């Protein structure tokens, strides 16, 4: 038996000015693609483990993952997808680790178009897909997959388990034990990312209901929150099930019922931001008498949703309110990094920091924040994640510098980077647990590590391309009416 296994992940924010060329994916091919995933916690790793247990011959044409950013370059999309399509003929099984919210230049449905091409290249070959919880599901995706399973956690800690689930069902097909079909229901509901956490609220309850359906015999059920920062027809919530072909009618009824439950609680998927000044006043109150730092999460500029990682609104407002003892990081500003390194450790500097990437799609052009301080430390910006997300992975932020000012110590990097771990600060000699405030450009992924070390958490919505304020986005292609853009 010959199994095609590939990974191609990108969550596209169509409003983001951050480009997505081929090199953003850091693709690996063939044997290197296998090595990049074997022993890791990706869905592709689970596919590899299962296929090896089956005794299959593995074909791994590509493994590629880029951080969320703007639409994928047409050439990059063509090259990466063509490698997968070209590998399909002659294979007996296809297992794909995809995201589900990819938009490329020339394709609003990156995954759907890929799956349709694979069906044409390998008709009748069983095909399983593992997807991110934030996938924007389409009819083309559903029609061209035999098995579809998505993450059930956000923060995402079940990537491997999702791949194992999808692969296990495909294994049943290969052994002739079952024929599967995918059914779904999409809602006119654009959820906010901060209301898609599975730790609480309406989303947690919906995911629990999906788990109950599986416990009751449905092979797979997933609630996809969608990714609303994509100006496509339906960046919306969907309920998807993989069912036995002979039980399609009852499975569709279960999917419809769960979708109706979600719709009845649609307000629970909407995040209402408070004014930034109010958030910072609340943070100052939490810090009084605290022995641990207060987290300030700048979710308006989160690189894992396509943010530039260089907007300075939250730091500027915090300084204006007199907050001090702030550990900040990382701020992406390659120009500032070069200037600070040229000045040298210990040098007194005046620097224009951040706000250098124009946010043209949302009509914002900001001025850098001028700061005076000392170059505290310089490093290569590398660290190893201690967990629980991407445990053991080696991360690289590019050359990184610690800038020490009277009120803040700032980690400035050459590359955008999600603060997965304390290593973001440790690599430049900074212990964030000793700060009064820790300002992170993050929504959710930082929480498993940083929340247990903090005295409290305050979400700060700044005017960036990942803000929760939908009013800042000039949606042109979204199918209307849709909640909460419209009163439904």
pLDDT value for 389: 76
Whether the per-residue pLDDT at 56 is higher than 90: the answer is yes
194 and 293 housed in the same domain: no
The answer to the question of residue 484 being in a domain is: no
The answer to the question of residue 482 being in a domain is: no
Bridge partners of 195, per DSSP, are: none
Of 269, 287, 309, which marks where a domain is finished?
Answer: 269
210 and 334 housed in the same domain: no
Provide the pLDDT confidence category of residue 393 given band limits of 50, 70 and 90.
confident
pLDDT tens digits for 409-462?
A: 999 999 999 999 999 999 999 999 999 999 999 999 899 999 999 999 999 999
263 and 289 housed in the same domain: no
Measured distance CA(307)–CA(303) in Å, rounded: 4
Whether the per-residue pLDDT at 309 is higher than 80: the answer is yes
233 and 303 housed in the same domain: no
Rounded to 5 degrees, φ, ψ at 152 are: -115, 10
Domain that holds residue 48: 2-269
The answer to the question of residue 486 being in a domain is: no
Please name the residue ranges forming H helices in 297-405: 313-320, 334-343
Measured distance CA(133)–CA(151) in Å, rounded: 5
Whether the per-residue pLDDT at 379 is higher than 80: the answer is yes
DSSP secondary structure, 240-254, as one string:
EEEEEGGGHHHHHHH
Average pLDDT over residues 242-249: 97
pLDDT tens digits for 251-271?
A: 999 999 999 999 999 999 999
User: Residue 69 maps to which CATH number?
Assistant: 3.40.50.2300
pLDDT value for 6: 98
Average pLDDT over residues 91-115: 98
The answer to the question of residue 485 being in a domain is: no
pLDDT value for 331: 98
Structure tokens at 467: 């803000």
Whether the per-residue pLDDT at 390 is higher than 80: the answer is no
The answer to the question of residue 474 being in a domain is: no
CA atoms within 13 A on the CB side of 423: 19
299 and 404 housed in the same domain: yes
Q: 74-87 vs 110-121: helix axis angle to the nearest 10?
A: 30
pLDDT value for 119: 97
The answer to the question of residue 458 being in a domain is: yes
Share of the chain above pLDDT 70, in %: 100
pLDDT value for 127: 98
Whether the per-residue pLDDT at 477 is higher than 90: the answer is yes
Task: Output 387 or 100, whichever has higher pLDDT.
Answer: 100
pLDDT value for 421: 94
pLDDT tens digits for 80-102?
A: 999 999 999 999 999 999 999 99
Whole-number average pLDDT of the chain: 97
Average pLDDT over residues 380-409: 91
Task: Output 388 or 296, whichever has higher pLDDT.
Answer: 296
Of 269, 298, 313, which marks where a domain is finished?
Answer: 269
Number of domains making up the chain: 2
248 and 296 housed in the same domain: no
pLDDT value for 71: 98
186 and 64 housed in the same domain: yes
Share of the chain above pLDDT 90, in %: 96
Structure tokens at 24: 């953003």
222 and 247 housed in the same domain: yes
Neighbours of 78 (CB within 10 A): 16
CA atoms within 13 A on the CB side of 450: 34
249 and 280 housed in the same domain: no
- Predicted structure pTM score: 0.95
231 and 303 housed in the same domain: no
Average pLDDT over residues 339-350: 98
Average pLDDT over residues 229-256: 98
Provide the pLDDT confidence category of residue 186 given band limits of 50, 70 and 90.
very high
Residue 465: partners with Cβ closer than 8 Å, 6 or more residues away: 13, 15, 16, 17, 229, 301, 306, 307, 308, 359, 361, 362
Of 269, 291, 323, which marks where a domain is finished?
Answer: 269
Provide the pLDDT confidence category of residue 247 given band limits of 50, 70 and 90.
very high
DSSP state of 275: P
Bridge partners of 185, per DSSP, are: 239
pLDDT value for 392: 80
Q: Helix-strand-coil percent breakdown of the chain, rounded to 5?
A: 35, 25, 40
Measured distance CA(125)–CA(4) in Å, rounded: 10
For residues 13 and 475, the answer to whether their CB atoms sit within 8 Å is no
Whether the per-residue pLDDT at 387 is higher than 80: the answer is no
| Max Cα–Cα distance, the chain, nearest Å | 73
The answer to the question of residue 32 being in a domain is: yes
Provide the pLDDT confidence category of residue 221 given band limits of 50, 70 and 90.
very high
Provide the pLDDT confidence category of residue 3 given band limits of 50, 70 and 90.
very high
64 and 147 housed in the same domain: yes
pLDDT tens digits for 272-293?
A: 999 999 999 999 999 999 999 9
259 and 280 housed in the same domain: no
- What's the CA dihedral at 465, 471, 473, 478 to 10 degrees? 130
The answer to the question of residue 472 being in a domain is: no
């Amino acid at each position: 038996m010959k199994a095609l296994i590939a990974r191609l992940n990108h969550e596209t924010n169509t409003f983001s000015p951050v480009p997505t060329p081929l090199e953003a994916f850091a693709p690996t091919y063939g044997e290197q693609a296998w090595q990049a995933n074997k022993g890791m916690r990706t869905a592709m790793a689970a596919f590899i483990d299962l296929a090896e247990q089956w005794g299959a011959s593995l074909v791994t044409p590509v493994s590629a993952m880029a951080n969320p950013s703007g639409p994928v370059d047409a050439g990059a999309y063509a090259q990466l997808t063509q490698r997968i399509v070209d590998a399909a003929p002659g294979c007996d099984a296809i297992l794909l680790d995809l995201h589900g919210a990819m938009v490329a230049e020339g394709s609003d449905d990156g995954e759907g178009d890929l799956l349709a091409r694979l069906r044409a290249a390998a008709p009748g070959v069983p095909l399983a897909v593992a997807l991110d919880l934030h996938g924007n599901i389409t009819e083309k995706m559903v029609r061209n997959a035999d098995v579809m399973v998505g993450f059930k956690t956000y923060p995402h800690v079940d990537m491997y388990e999702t791949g194992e689930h999808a692969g296990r069902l495909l294994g049943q097909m290969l052994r002739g034990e079952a024929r599967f079909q995918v059914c779904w229901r999409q809602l006119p509901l654009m959820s906010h990312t901060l209301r898609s956490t599975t730790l609480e609220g309406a989303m947690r309850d919906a995911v629990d209901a999906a788990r109950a359906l599986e416990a009751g015999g449905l092979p797979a059920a997933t609630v996809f929150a969608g990714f609303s920062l994509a100006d496509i027809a339906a960046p919306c919530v969907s309920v998807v099930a993989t069912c036995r072909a002979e039980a399609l009618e009852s499975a569709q009824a279960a999917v419809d019922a769960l979708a109706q439950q979600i719709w009845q609680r649609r307000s629970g998927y909407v995040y209402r931001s408070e004014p930034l000044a109010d958030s910072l006043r609340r943070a100052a109150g939490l810090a009084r008498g605290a022995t641990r730092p207060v987290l300030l999460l700048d979710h308006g500029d989160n690189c894992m949703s396509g943010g530039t990682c260089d907007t300075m609104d939250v730091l500027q407002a915090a300084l204006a309110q007199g907050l001090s003892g702030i550990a900040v990081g990382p701020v992406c500003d390659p120009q500032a990094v070069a200037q600070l390194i040229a000045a040298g450790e210990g040098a007194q500097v005046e620097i224009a920091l951040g706000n250098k990437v124009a946010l043209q799609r949302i009509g914002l052009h900001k001025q850098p924040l001028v700061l005076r301080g000392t170059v505290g430390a310089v490093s290569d910006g590398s660290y190893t994640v201690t967990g629980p997300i991407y445990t053991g992975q080696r991360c690289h932020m590019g050359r990184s510098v610690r800038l020490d000012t009277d009120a803040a110590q700032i980690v400035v990097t050459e590359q955008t980077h999600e603060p997965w771990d304390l290593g973001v600060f440790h690599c430049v000699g900074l212990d964030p647990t000793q700060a009064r405030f820790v300002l992170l450009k993050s929504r959710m992924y930082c929480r498993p590590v940083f929340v247990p070390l903090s005295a409290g958490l305050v979400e700060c919505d700044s005017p960036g391309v990942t803000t929760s304020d939908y009013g800042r986005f000039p949606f042109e292609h979204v199918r209307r009416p849709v909640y909460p853009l419209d009163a439904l």
